[in-house]
Each structure stands twice: as structure tokens, then as C-alpha cells.
């Protein structure tokens, strides 16, 4: 922020992975207004409802503005989400203040001391960072460097784990690298767009608009939507396949078999691929009739879909959370990619698989290695040369640990069994958004030290912190983000930060420095960005001895295009990076054989409790649905077994800590309705607006206190059951909406509310 920046500032929307360019104007009184940036190559001047309302979210309301200490046990008791058990520890909160403000100098010193003490007492592996696709790349880079290079473990994971890890693993299996084979122009130049598990009209609306605009000019372009629900995207579709949730691999195995039968292979491309025979062998039993039976739709619909794919060389398959957030998500991704490899439709104009990222900077996090199994700059954590290269580059005091660190969904167990003693959560709200969120809340209650950096006081996770740090938010912080097509854009400060809020990279660097670590003396985010760029120089030539003082080849991670090193002034004024339309050459791609057992295996009851999945289904599950109603009473059933599908609403974002502030966004849907098929509503005897209670089909597997006392973590420390908060029953009470766009047996609820 500078005093001169009072007119129009070019920045990027902080919501979805489209990464739209925004022109923000700040008037003399500091009031901000926004419009789309006509020169940004993602959106060309357009913004969706969420982006258009950004200025309404910039007030001081509900903001964290100063660091403070918190009596988390007392605060959690006050803010417990539902009825707690009788054995909940009653804490006297009558007199003691729940929070105690502090200043940066004191709290940064204190955190540094406590982290050093934790390492001394419990070892380097006892600390974890949980970060977020809301962070800027510079924040991500510093967090990753701090814990992997200097604390000395790989216990850093991002909330991108929840939405993108299947896509990352699928791309690595197929292409040997976490790359993006398509770009946004492909959505306009394709002849057939297939959406799988993606309500693009609501979740990536500007990209959807780009396709529709191209279709308007050339109505012969076709749109197919594969989704259990009839979403708004279907309004524009030529074909909708309402397959049973979780049966995507069957559908795509059948497609591969059909393409083989129709002679649709690209022989020249297949010569570059491995294991095609294995994949075809696994697919060969999937006739159209068998697929129809598995997916629970008509064979005619499937035949139409296969015929359209076979007939259109320029096919783009865009997929998102309905594919990725699944226990068989990686198989689903590879089943889709298999069909593109077989037809040679990869990395060509208008022909590619395309993963739509959910968050504004899920990609930036992957690029700087902020997952427990990644290394910065897409170097390989399992490769000792790469680990040494990065450690040398950072001048880290020890080598980088070879073991994959603790991942997001395992964090609660790691805390509860005593492996993790201190966790630092940045810019995310995991006690709402993680699977088994209540267990994670209990884990935070039991953790010795919980630090939360965030912007909003409304984050439920803030209520679980021992130390709360005010972070700068959109419009205050400055740095870079990477969108779904891996284009890097700038987010810029528009106005001074509220209160004492600081950038995450600054907070992390200050703590690292106060812990006695060298290499964190950053004064400006451009210095961090340039360090990261310098590290990418060795991506393709790890034999080089790395040094920032060398003159390396600055490479874009996936596309081998020059990436600039910037001085501070340039960094402040540069336009979004433009990669042009150069294509990746994939010399060797891999087919993955998707066997029925891969996709249809049903976890045992314990696994199911451990990994609840929203968008999954299996043959076995479907058989259960055949017998899913309790005994009728007065013509109705008091209980119906439903599969709950979750997703986003058009006008809300994540847990609504930002979009919930914009009145116009709350008008679209003001409450989390439970949508049922009319037949299920009739069976239950409920009508639109009635209230129903949902509870999990499988009981909670919460250990009682006696069991907790008996459980011994690997380091021998006892679990402190006195701090455990037990939620005896998860349940949700919701109002009913009724839609014939649902499948019988499915229910839908938006994911945004606590």
C-alpha cells in the first residue's frame, strides 16, 4: 500500500480457482468499488455475483484486529455447536476474562519460545502447520520453508488436501508430474464440453460463461453434464447423465471400452503411452448394459454420451469436487484421463482433461510444496538429491526429512495420540470444513498449543485457539496467486490493514527469526517471490549446485517458459503473467488400469467412520438403498436412509466468513436447506419448509474417557482426557426443500454452514 494508490488498482478475486482479474477503485474517503478487469485473460472484464460483491466484505465488521491469548476451554464450552455429554468438564467462566489482548512483540517472542520448548521436549515432529488455498504463494512458500527446512519435519498440509489431492495424484500417475494439460481457451475452442462432478454454472461461473458465449456463436458445440443432481449447469446441457453418486469409474471404464470397440484410438499418441493394454483389459467387461446397471441410468443415455465423445476430437472433460472429494477420487481422475490418452486428446487446442481447482491459490500452494508429500518447486520429496538441493538452497541447518508428513485428515488422530503437541492453523476453518470436524475440534481442545492466524472472528476455529493472530485479508495483503490454468496473477493491497493485522509471511518470518533461524529476513513479498522463482531454476537440472547468486534459467514449473525475477518496483506494478498458449509436450504418459475392485470396494465400518465421503457410492451401498426404509406408519416412514451429497451454493464461499458479510449474497439462499426427491419427501410425510433431523447412518466411534486414559501414544505421553470435549451425537436439523432434480435416495445440503 502506498499513499498514491488512490485510483484504480489491478488485483485478483480471492474466491474460486478461476482467478478473475479485478479493477478496484478507492475514492478519497477510502470507499472501495470493484469491477472486472477487461484485460485479465481469465475473465475479460466479467465478475460473478461473489466477485461483484467483494467491496461489501471489506469493512471492519467481524474482523480480527489485534493478537490475543484465549482461554480456549472456556470459549469452546461457550461456543459448543450442539448438546454435549454429561461428562463434559465444567469450567468456571464466571470471572476470568476469556481473552487477553497482547502486542505483536510479546506474542511473537512467546510463540518462538513455546515452539522451541516444544521441539526440545517432544522433538521436531511434534509441530504441525495447517495452511490454506486462501494464502498467497509468498505466505505458502515461507510456511513450507520454515517447517520443512528449519523445524525439520514435513508436517504441513493444506486444505487443498480436501479438494485437490486426488487430481494431483491422478495427474502424477498419468503424466509423471502435477501438471495442467489444458487452459481456459480450450473451453471455448472445444466442440464438446463434458462436466463431471462439477456444477460449473455456480462454482466456476465465469468459465461457464466463456463456454456458453462460444456455444452461442457456434450452437453445434455440445455440453454434457454428469452429476447425480440436476444442477443449474444442466439447464444449458444437451445431455444430462444423473448417474448414481460415485459410479464415475464404471462410466469411464465403459467409455474406454466403447472407444476401443469403435476404433477411436490415436495410434501415434499411444506409442508414447505405457500400460494401455492393462487399462483396456480392466475395461473390457464394461458393456453399456453393465454400466447402465452400475450407474443406475438408462443404457440409451450412456450410449448417447459415448457416441458424442467418440465423434468429437475436440473434447474437454472438466472435473472438480464431485470427482476429487472421494475415497476413489484418484481412480476417477485416471479413468477420465485414460479416455483422453486413448484418443490422443491431451494438451491439444480444444482437447484435454481439465481439473477445475476450487480455491484461488490451491495451485500456488502445490507449486511451493505446501503439502505433506510435496517439495517446493515441484521437486520430489522422495528423491534424496532433490531434498538435498532444496536444503542447500535454503541453507537449512539439517537435511529435509524423507518421510511424508502428517496429512490434514490424520491431524486429529496425531494430536489425540500425542504425536502433535503444537499446531498452527492459517487462513482456514477446519473445525467446520474437515471430515469428522467434531473430532478435530476435540483434538484442538486437547492440544498443548493451538495458534490460529485468520482475518475473521467468525471462524469457528478461532474459538479453539490458545493464541489468535490477526492476519491481513483481501484488499490488505499483497502477493501472487495461481489459478486453474496455472496462470499467476497479483493480489494487491487497496487500503491500509485494519488494526494490527499483518501478512502471514511476515508473522511466520518473525517467529522463525525469533526462534534463532536464519534466512527469514524478508522485508517485502517480492523478495520471497524471487527466491521461489530462483528455486524453480533447478527443476529440470537437479545436478546443478544451487545458489541464489547463480544465474539460473528461470523456468515456469510446468510449461518451461521464462519466469521473471522482479525488483520491488516492478513487482508492485506488473500485470498478470501471460504464459501464451505454448503446450506441454508429454513424452510418456501412463494409462492406469481401473479395476472394478478399485472403484467398488467398500470400506469396512471403521474406515467409513474415519473417512466420510460426500460424493461416493458403491454397488454395495446401492444394495443397501434397496432396503432403506423403516416400517411404514400411517403410510409414511419415520426414517429414510439417504445418501447425503454436499456442494456449494452460487453466492457463498467456503464457511461464509467473508461472503456472509455481503447482504446481497445472503439473498440467494439464506439458510441451509435439505433438498429431497418428492418420492422421499412423500415417504417421510414431509413438505417444503418442514423440519427434519439428519444423523449419520453409522454411530460415532468416540472413545470413552476410560479408553482414552488407557490409550498410550507412541511417545509414551498420556492423553490428557481432561481436556477432551465429546460430542455424543452428530445431528443436523434442517428445513426441507423438494426437487425432482434429485435422485430418489439422495439428499443435498450446501457445505457452507457450521
Tell me which residues touch ligand SF4 (CB under 6 A).
13, 15-16, 18-20, 43, 47-48, 50-51, 205-206
Angstrom CA distances, 393 to 5, 350, 516, 533, 658, stand at 36, 39, 19, 12, 38
Question: 205 vs 745, which CB is nearer to ligand SF4?
Answer: 205
Per DSSP (E only), the strands in 28-153 are: 32-36, 68-70, 99-101, 127-131
Question: 54 vs 534, which CB is nearer to ligand SF4?
Answer: 54
Give Cβ neighbours of residue 245 (< 8 Å, ≥ 6 apart): 228, 322, 615, 616, 617, 643, 645, 743, 746
Cβ-contact 500, 102 below 8 angstroms: no
Question: 280 vs 649, which CB is nearer to ligand SF4?
Answer: 649
Handedness of CA 325, 206, 560, 368 (dihedral sign): negative
408 Ramachandran zone, left/alpha/beta (phi>0; psi -120 to 50)? alpha
What minimum distance in Å lies between the beta carbon of 144 and ligand SF4?
A: 24
At residue 179, the 3 state secondary structure works out as coil
Cell of 505: 509471511
Question: 134 vs 618, which CB is nearer to ligand SF4?
Answer: 134
What minimum distance in Å lies between the beta carbon of 19 and ligand SF4?
A: 6
What minimum distance in Å lies between the beta carbon of 36 and ligand SF4?
A: 7
Largest separation between any pair of C-alpha atoms in the chain: 80
Question: 18 vs 396, which CB is nearer to ligand SF4?
Answer: 18
DSSP summary character for residue 1? -
Cβ-contact 397, 119 below 8 angstroms: no
What minimum distance in Å lies between the beta carbon of 360 and ligand SF4?
A: 7
Cβ-contact 415, 450 below 8 angstroms: no
At residue 663, the 3 state secondary structure works out as helix
178 Ramachandran zone, left/alpha/beta (phi>0; psi -120 to 50)? beta
Question: 407 vs 483, which CB is nearer to ligand SF4?
Answer: 483
Per DSSP (E only), the strands in 556-614 are: 589-590
What minimum distance in Å lies between the beta carbon of 163 and ligand SF4?
A: 14
Question: 200 vs 376, which CB is nearer to ligand SF4?
Answer: 200
Question: 233 vs 708, which CB is nearer to ligand SF4?
Answer: 233
Question: 13 vs 640, which CB is nearer to ligand SF4?
Answer: 13
Query: What b/e string do you get for 143-158 counting C-beta neighbours within 10 Å, with b at 16 or more?
Result: bbbbbbbbbbbbbbbb
**222-226 and 479-482 strand pairing:** unpaired
Question: 592 vs 665, which CB is nearer to ligand SF4?
Answer: 665
What minimum distance in Å lies between the beta carbon of 16 and ligand SF4?
A: 3
What minimum distance in Å lies between the beta carbon of 42 and ligand SF4?
A: 7
Question: 362 vs 444, which CB is nearer to ligand SF4?
Answer: 362
What minimum distance in Å lies between the beta carbon of 654 and ligand SF4?
A: 11
CA 663 to chain centre: 26
What minimum distance in Å lies between the beta carbon of 178 and ligand SF4?
A: 22
Q: How far apart, in whole angstroms, are the C-alpha atoms of residue 556 and residue 542?
A: 15
Q: Which residue has the cell 476469556?
A: 98
654 Ramachandran zone, left/alpha/beta (phi>0; psi -120 to 50)? left
What minimum distance in Å lies between the beta carbon of 48 and ligand SF4?
A: 3
Give Cβ neighbours of residue 597 (< 8 Å, ≥ 6 apart): none
Give the CB-nearest residue to ligand SF4: 51
What minimum distance in Å lies between the beta carbon of 18 and ligand SF4?
A: 4
At residue 173, the 3 state secondary structure works out as helix
What minimum distance in Å lies between the beta carbon of 51 and ligand SF4?
A: 2
Question: 264 vs 318, which CB is nearer to ligand SF4?
Answer: 318
Cβ-contact 323, 248 below 8 angstroms: yes
Q: How far apart, in whole angstroms, are the C-alpha atoms of residue 47 and residue 39?
A: 13
Amino acid at each position: 500500500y502506498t499513499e498514491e494508490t488512490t485510483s484504480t488498482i489491478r488485483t485478483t478475486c480471492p474466491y474460486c480457482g478461476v482467478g478473475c482479474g479485478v479493477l478496484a477503485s478507492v475514492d478519497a474517503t477510502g470507499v472501495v468499488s470493484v469491477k472486472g478487469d477487461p484485460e485479465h485473460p481469465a475473465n475479460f472484464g466479467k465478475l460473478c455475483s461473489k466477485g461483484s460483491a467483494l467491496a461489501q466484505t471489506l469493512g471492519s465488521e467481524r474482523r480480527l484486529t489485534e493478537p490475543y491469548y484465549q482461554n480456549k476451554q472456556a470459549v469452546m464450552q461457550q461456543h459448543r455447536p450442539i448438546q454435549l455429554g454429561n461428562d463434559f468438564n465444567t469450567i468456571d467462566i464466571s470471572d476470568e476474562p476469556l481473552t487477553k489482548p497482547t502486542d505483536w512483540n510479546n506474542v511473537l517472542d512467546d510463540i518462538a519460545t513455546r515452539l522451541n520448548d516444544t521441539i526440545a521436549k517432544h522433538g521436531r515432529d511434534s509441530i504441525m502447520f495447517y495452511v490454506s488455498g486462501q494464502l498467497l504463494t509468498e505466505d505458502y512458500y515461507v510456511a513450507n520453508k520454515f517447517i520443512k527446512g528449519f523445524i525439520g519435519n514435513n508436517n504441513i498440509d493444506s486444505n487443498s488436501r480436501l479438494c485437490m489431492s486426488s487430481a494431483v495424484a491422478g495427474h502424477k500417475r498419468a503424466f509423471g508430474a502435477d501438471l495442467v494439460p489444458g487452459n481456459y481457451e480450450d473451453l471455448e475452442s472445444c466442440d464438446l464440453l463434458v462436466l463431471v462432478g462439477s456444477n460449473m454454472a455456480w462454482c466456476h461461473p465465469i468459465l461457464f460463461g466463456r463456454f456458453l458465449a462460444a456455444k452461442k456463436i457456434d450452437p453445434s458445440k455440445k455440453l454434457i453434464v454428469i452429476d447425480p443432481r440436476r444442477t443449474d449447469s444442466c439447464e444449458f446441457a444437451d445431455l444430462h447423465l444423473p448417474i448414481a453418486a460415485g459410479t464415475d469409474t464404471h462410466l469411464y471404464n465403459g467409455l474406454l471400452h466403447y472407444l476401443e470397440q469403435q476404433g477411436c484410438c490415436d495410434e501415434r499418441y499411444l506409442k508414447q503411452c505405457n500400460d494401455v493394454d492393462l487399462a483396456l483389459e480392466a475395461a473390457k467387461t464394461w458393456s453399456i448394459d453393465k454400466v447402465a446397471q452400475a450407474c443406475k441410468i438408462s443404457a440409451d443415455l450412456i450410449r448417447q454420451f459415448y457416441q458424442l465423445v467418440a465423434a468429437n476430437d475436440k473434447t474437454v472433460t472438466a472435473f472438480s469436487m464431485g470427482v476429487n472429494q472421494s475415497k476413489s477420487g484418484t481412480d476417477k481422475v485416471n479413468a477420465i484421463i485414460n479416455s483422453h490418452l486413448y484418443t490422443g486428446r491431451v494438451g491439444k487446442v480444444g482437447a484435454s482433461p481439465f481439473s477445475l481447482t476450487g480455491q484461488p491459490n490451491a495451485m500456488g500452494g502445490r507449486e511451493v510444496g505446501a503439502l505433506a508429500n510435496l517439495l517446493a518447486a515441484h521437486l520430489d520429496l522422495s528423491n534424496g538429491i532433490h531434498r538435498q538441493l532444496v536444503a542447500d538452497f535454503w541453507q537449512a541447518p539439517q537435511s529435509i526429512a524423507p518421510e511424508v508428513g502428517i496429512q490434514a485428515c490424520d491431524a486429529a488422530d496425531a494430536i489425540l495420540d500425542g504425536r502433535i503437541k503444537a499446531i498452527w492453523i492459517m487462513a482456514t476453518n477446519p473445525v467446520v470444513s474437515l471430515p469428522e470436524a467434531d473430532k478435530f475440534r476435540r483434538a484442538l481442545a486437547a492440544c498443548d498449543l493451538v495458534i490460529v492466524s485468520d482475518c475473521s472472528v467468525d471462524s469457528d476455529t478461532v474459538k479453539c485457539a490458545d493464541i489468535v493472530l490477526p492476519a491481513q485479508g483481501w484488499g490488505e495483503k499483497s502477493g501472487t496467486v495461481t489459478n486453474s490454468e496455472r496462470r499467476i496473477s497479483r493480489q494487491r493491497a487497496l487500503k491500509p490493514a485494519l488494526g494490527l493485522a499483518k501478512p502471514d509471511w511476515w508473522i511466520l518470518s518473525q517467529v522463525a527469526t525469533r526462534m534463532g533461524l536464519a534466512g527469514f529476513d524478508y522485508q517485502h513479498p517480492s523478495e520471497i517471490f524471487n527466491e521461489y522463482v530462483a528455486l524453480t531454476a533447478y527443476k529440470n537440472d537437479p545436478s546443478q549446485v544451487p545458489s541464489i547468486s547463480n544465474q539460473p534459467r528461470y523456468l515456469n514449473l510446468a510449461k518451461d517458459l521464462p519466469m521473471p525475477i522482479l525488483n520491488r518496483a516492478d513487482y508492485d506494478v506488473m500485470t498478470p503473467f501471460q504464459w501464451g498458449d505454448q503446450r506441454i509436450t508429454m513424452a510418456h504418459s501412463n494409462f492406469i488400469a481401473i479395476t472394478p475392485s478399485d472403484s467398488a470396494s467398500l470400506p469396512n465400518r471403521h474406515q467409513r467412520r474415519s473417512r466420510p465421503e460426500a460424493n461416493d457410492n458403491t454397488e454395495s451401498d446401492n444394495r443397501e438403498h434397496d432396503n432403506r426404509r423403516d416400517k411404514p406408519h400411517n403410510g409414511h416412514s419415520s426414517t429414510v436412509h439417504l445418501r447425503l451429497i454436499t456442494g456449494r451454493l452460487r453466492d457463498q464461499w467456503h464457511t461464509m466468513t467473508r461472503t456472509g458479510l455481503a447482504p446481497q449474497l445472503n439473498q440467494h439462499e439464506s439458510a441451509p436447506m435439505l433438498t429431497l426427491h418428492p418420492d422421499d419427501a412423500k415417504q417421510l410425510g414431509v413438505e417444503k419448509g418442514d423440519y427434519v433431523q439428519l444423523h449419520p447412518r453409522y454411530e460415532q466411534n468416540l472413545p470413552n474417557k476410560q479408553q482414552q486414559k488407557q490409550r498410550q501414544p507412541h511417545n509414551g505421553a498420556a492423553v490428557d482426557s481432561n481436556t477432551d470435549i465429546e460430542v455424543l451425537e452428530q445431528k443436523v436439523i434442517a428445513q426441507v426443500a423438494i426437487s425432482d432434480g434429485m435422485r430418489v435416495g439422495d439428499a443435498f445440503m450446501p457445505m457452507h454452514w457450521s
